[in-house]
Structure formats: structure tokens, C-alpha cells
């Protein structure tokens, strides 16, 4: 049986997988970036929870990360389109089907990465904060 945290991350991955980009979870950057772009979901850190008692509840602001990568001559437009599509996918259901209290992304900080013998990459990490509660920090 999956933990609540894993269920949320799986739901986030599924939501991102509906986008036209290739979406991976916890993988290394492949040698080739698909033309439609690449998203890699990193599990991130749940952080220290706030705890309430009677009954005990652990309230997390889990920081996952989405690595967004595009390549090619039109990488600026492609990057903008890709990051906007991530924002729209998250805004379409801020609770991931009721699994979270709220899901919000932070603004990306894009960088251009030179690639020897190929077009440069444009990449960024998009922090995503997952607000949720559990009855047990290991559940």
C-alpha cells in the first residue's frame, strides 16, 4: 500500500503526463531532449511538519521539483509554452483530486546551457509546493 506522500507524487506525475512533453520521474537527464520538451519530476523534501494533537495530524508543505528542459532554435518560445502548460495543468486541479489541500508552483529561473556540437538547452527547476496532512509521518 502506497503512502499518502507517494500517492500525491504519483498523482502529480500523472497530471504532468497529460502534457505533450515527455515526463519522467526521478530519472537522469537523457542524452537527447525530445522536440516537445522534457519534464523530470523530483520527489523533493517534505520538510518539517506542523503537528496538531488530538488526534495527531502532521501538516506538510512538501517541496517537489519539476525540471523543465527544451532544446532547439526556438527554445525561448518552447520553454515559455512548456512552463505555461505546467502552470495550467496544476491550476486545473489544485487539490490533485482531493489528495492535497493545495498545490502551487513557484516561478522558474531559466538558464541557457551550452551543449558541445548541438543547440543549447534552456532549463529550469520549477518548485512545486504540495500542502497536505497525514495521521502519521511514515504513512
The tally of domains found in the chain comes to 1
Q: Has residue 75 been placed in a domain?
A: yes
Residue-range definition of the domain harbouring residue 86: 4-134
For residue 31, is pLDDT > 90? no
pTM here?
0.94
pLDDT at 114: 83
The three grid cell numbers given for residue 66, joined into one nine-digit string: 519539476
Q: Has residue 139 been placed in a domain?
A: no
Q: Convert the pLDDT of each residue in 62-109 to its tens digit.
A: 999 999 999 988 999 999 999 999 999 999 999 999 999 999 999 999
Residue 124 contacts residue 58 (beta carbons within 8 Å) = no
Q: Has residue 62 been placed in a domain?
A: yes
Q: Has residue 54 been placed in a domain?
A: yes
CATH number reported for the structural domain that contains residue 14 in this entry: 3.30.2000
Amino acid at each position: 500500500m502506497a503512502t499518502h506522500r507517494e500517492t500525491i507524487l504519483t498523482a502529480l506525475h500523472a497530471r504532468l503526463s497529460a502534457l505533450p512533453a515527455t515526463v519522467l520521474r526521478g530519472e537522469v537527464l537523457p542524452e537527447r531532449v525530445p522536440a516537445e520538451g522534457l519534464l523530470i519530476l523530483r520527489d523533493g523534501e517534505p520538510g518539517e511538519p506542523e503537528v496538531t494533537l488530538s488526534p495527531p495530524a502532521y501538516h506538510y508543505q512538501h517541496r517537489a521539483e519539476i525540471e523543465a528542459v527544451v532544446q532547439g532554435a526556438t527554445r525561448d518560445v518552447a520553454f515559455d509554452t512548456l512552463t505555461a502548460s505546467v502552470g495550467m495543468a496544476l491550476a486545473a486541479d489544485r487539490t490533485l483530486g482531493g489528495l492535497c489541500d493545495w498545490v502551487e508552483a513557484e516561478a522558474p529561473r531559466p538558464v541557457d546551457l551550452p551543449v558541445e556540437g548541438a543547440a543549447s538547452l534552456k532549463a529550469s527547476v520549477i518548485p512545486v509546493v504540495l500542502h497536505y496532512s497525514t495521521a502519521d509521518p511514515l504513512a
